[in-house]
């Protein structure tokens, strides 16, 4: 056990060392290495991704990258920049084309004494309808928003008097409703942590008046979350090893959910690669791009597996970005990657 812990500590120190040195230098080159491959499962994949598309590595050396979010910025000739979380490092990084990645916010998800948890930082990031950044914070066990010209404000850190486990991923509807998942990955002892105040891992709704509603406790480990283009359907990924799947819920007029239906079960597709359903983004045409075994899975709104972007790494999350919203950015373990698609994110539709 001691030998294993020492090996892990050595790997962590090396990763941090590489990251620290790489973020101090400007990234002058725009020629990026490539990795992985594209695998088609259905001819319809060609409508959203070219089978010859290349997965570029735009930055690397992180401990566990997560929560990518593209920020539009007209002052940048590339149309903006990418933010992403490194959960173990409790840091959000900012990547700018031609500059590279540098720390942007630290701490990002835990403000207490060091040593709380191996995954204490922020995880999922998104924008609310005012353009403010919303954070899922593992260590501080809350969903927060970065106010304009000020600091963070807590949107919710408990529901019905019980603290969250470790908010993981988040999406905002056009009416201002905020949906998020709350597994226990960020707690010091994970799902067996004695500080848990709920026996379940919920999916929640925060309304614009900041009231919080538990929507469902049916998931063993809810993770990625997203909305259909009309914001009438909520998608939730479960990263459980026993039931790795994606579910869909019709959304009621009050923002709560109808009964779930299984969209796709990963273990029934014949794909046997490391990884599980995790973070996701839904394109303007309704295609779901989600982390899954082996990389990013492309899933139709009807639940058909269209194809996969095999990264060769445990892949955590993805988001659309770039000047016209057609570039998919993804976080794959120590790597930040991107690939050109034939569709675009909902913010660009």
Instruction: Identify whether 9 is part of a domain.
Output: no
Instruction: Identify whether 95 is part of a domain.
Output: yes
Say which residues have a Cβ less than 8 Å from residue 116's Cβ, sequence separation at least 6.
Answer: 110, 139, 188
Say which residues have a Cβ less than 8 Å from residue 327's Cβ, sequence separation at least 6.
Answer: 320, 321, 338, 339, 340, 341
Instruction: Identify whether 320 is part of a domain.
Output: yes
The SS3 call for residue 176 is: coil
Cα Dmax for the chain: 55
| Burial class (CB within 10 angstroms; exposed 0-12, middle 13-18, buried 19+) of 109 | buried
Per-residue pLDDT of the chain (349 residues; tens, 9 = 90+): 333 333 334 334 434 443 443 443 445 567 899 999 999 999 999 999 999 999 999 999 999 999 999 999 988 888 999 999 999 999 999 999 999 999 999 999 999 998 899 999 999 999 999 999 999 999 999 999 999 888 999 999 999 999 999 999 999 999 999 999 999 999 999 999 999 999 999 999 999 999 999 999 999 999 999 999 999 999 999 998 789 999 999 999 999 999 999 999 999 999 999 999 999 999 999 999 999 999 999 999 999 999 999 999 999 999 999 999 999 999 999 999 999 999 999 999 8
Say which residues have a Cβ less than 8 Å from residue 160's Cβ, sequence separation at least 6.
Answer: 212, 214
Is the distance from CB of 243 to CB of 223 less than 8 angstroms?
Answer: no
DSSP 252: P
Residue with tokens 């660009």: 348
Q: What is the CATH number of the domain that holds 194?
A: 2.120.10.30
Residue 274: CB atoms within 10 Å: 11
Instruction: Identify whether 227 is part of a domain.
Output: yes
Domain enclosing residue 65, as ranges: 14-348
Instruction: Return the structure tokens found at 342.
Output: 């034939």
Total number of domains constituting the chain:
1
Instruction: Identify whether 8 is part of a domain.
Output: no
Say which residues have a Cβ less than 8 Å from residue 137's Cβ, sequence separation at least 6.
Answer: 108, 109, 110, 121, 122, 123, 143, 144, 166, 167
Instruction: Identify whether 4 is part of a domain.
Output: no
Instruction: Identify whether 3 is part of a domain.
Output: no
The SS3 call for residue 257 is: strand
Instruction: Identify whether 43 is part of a domain.
Output: yes
């Amino acid at each position: 056990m001691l030998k294993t812990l020492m090996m892990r500590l050595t790997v962590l120190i090396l990763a941090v060392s590489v990251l620290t040195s790489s973020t101090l230098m400007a990234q002058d080159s725009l020629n990026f290495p490539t990795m992985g491959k594209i695998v088609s499962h259905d001819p319809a994949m060609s409508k959203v991704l070219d089978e010859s598309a290349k997965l570029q590595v735009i930055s690397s050396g992180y401990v566990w990258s997560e929560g990518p979010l593209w920020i539009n910025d007209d002052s940048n000739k590339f149309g903006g920049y990418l933010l992403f979380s490194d959960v173990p490092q409790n840091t959000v990084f900012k990547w700018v084309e031609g500059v590279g990645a540098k720390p942007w916010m630290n701490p990002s998800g835990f403000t207490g004494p060091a040593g709380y948890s191996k995954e204490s930082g922020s995880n999922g990031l998104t924008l609310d309808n005012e353009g403010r950044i919303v954070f899922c914070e593992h260590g501080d066990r809350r969903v927060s928003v970065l106010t304009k010209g000020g600091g963070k404000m807590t949107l919710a850190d408990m529901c019905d008097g019980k603290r969250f486990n470790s908010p993981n991923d988040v999406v905002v509807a056009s009416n201002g409703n905020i949906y998020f998942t709350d597994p226990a990955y960020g707690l010091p002892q994970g799902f067996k942590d004695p500080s848990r105040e709920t026996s379940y891992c919920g999916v929640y709704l925060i309304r614009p008046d900041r009231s919080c509603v538990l929507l469902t406790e049916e998931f063993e480990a809810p993770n990625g979350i997203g909305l259909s283009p009309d914001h009438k359907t909520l998608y939730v990924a479960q990263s459980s090893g026993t039931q790795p799947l994606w579910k869909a819920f019709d959304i009621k007029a009050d923002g709560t959910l109808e009964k779930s239906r299984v969209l796709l079960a990963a273990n029934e597709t014949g794909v046997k690669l490391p990884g599980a359903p995790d973070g996701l983004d839904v394109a303007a045409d309704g295609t779901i791009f989600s982390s899954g075994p082996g990389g990013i899975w492309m899933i139709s709104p009807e639940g058909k597996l269209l194809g996969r972007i095999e990264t060769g790494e445990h892949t955590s999350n993805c988001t659309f970005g770039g000047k016209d919203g057609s570039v998919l950015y993804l976080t794959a373990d120590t790597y930040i990657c991107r690939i050109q698609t034939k569709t675009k994110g909902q913010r660009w539709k």
